[in-house]
Amino acid sequence: MLRVNLLNYSKKSLDFDLQILRSLSYDLKTVTEIDNVLRDNLTQIVLDTCPEEHLLHSEGLVALLYLCVAIFKESDLDLMPMEIVVSSDIPMGAGLGSSAAFSVALAGALFHLQNGLKRRSEDEEADRYVICKWAFKSEKIIHGNPSGLDNSICTYGGIMSYTTGQSLKPINNSSSAGNSSCLRVLLINSCVSRNTKALISHVKENRINLMPKVTASIFEAMDRVAREAAETVGKLLNNNNNSYSTRHSHDQSLFHKLEELVDANQGLLASLGVSHPSLERIISITAQQKMHAKLTGAGGGGFAYALITPWHTDAQIDQVKMDLESEGFVCWETKLAGDGVKYSRN
């Protein structure tokens, strides 16, 4: 039996028949392609097995079963009885990369198990490459056509930049991930549900089609802001001296520039019509404590983040949290540019 527990959604476990899963055929594909026949067969198994409450997450369950079956078959091993427990501090479906975190954690756990059974030598970089490719296949099952950015960041850590048609580029040196060179942010849930398809349609109809030259200029400006921000973040992280317990005048100018870029990007996004009154209220509240915030993800609700610099005091951070929560928003502090996938034992 293969047992799956989705702790964030149900206390009831899901059980899948090992013999059925072992009997499925698998056509070995490239490192980025998936076996569509296996995916379709697993989709039917999920539909036949799962109660309706779990079908909202059917793509994730199909991805989980796909990795279980494919990883073991590629290793010429029989899929073994196991229990997989999935829990997350990240809200799912909120545009925060929860599916990539899920995919990388699952691929890492299964690959680690496979390595133990095969008694292979340890090579962390080679392992991460394989984990990232399996996670990308999982993301393809869940999303259809992912960029590969989210699963790469979850695997390797740090911060990366992505331009369509180009390879991913690490912004910070790999040696800086996991040390004090992290960016602190407040992640804020507006508690307003978002509709990505509707937002895309709005931008297309009321911006791109209606005023294409103006919209092209907005997109060009956003591209320049993103490139400036990537360069600025890279300098901050690679300085290796932006500890939040110390302050440096050079870093202060870089943080100030990053704050202004956050404001510029938010203004451009608002001009496209993808902001929301709740997001503007979040920005107003954080500004009272001299924090700079912007929407993240698709917009139209969803999440925003506020940048925390070494010059923000604990009193300011605590106050802005209280002010946000008093108006019904949910927030918590986190760090960017941390470690990638890691193994741990309870």
Catalytic machinery residues: 99, 150
Judge whether 54 and 6 are in contact, CB under 8 Å: yes
DSSP assignments along 186-231, one per residue: EEEE------HHHHHHHHIIIIITT-HHHHHHHHHHHHHHHHHHHH
Judge whether 59 and 141 are in contact, CB under 8 Å: yes
Residue 164: Cβ-neighbour burial (10 angstroms; 0-12, 13-18, 19+): exposed
Q: How far apart are CA 235 and CA 225, in angstroms?
A: 15
Q: How far apart are CA 286 and CA 306, in angstroms?
A: 7
The residue count of the chain comes to 346
Q: Helices 98-118 & 149-156, crossing angle to 10 degrees?
A: 50
Q: Compute CA distances 340 → 108, 124, 198, 285, whole Å.
A: 11, 12, 33, 32
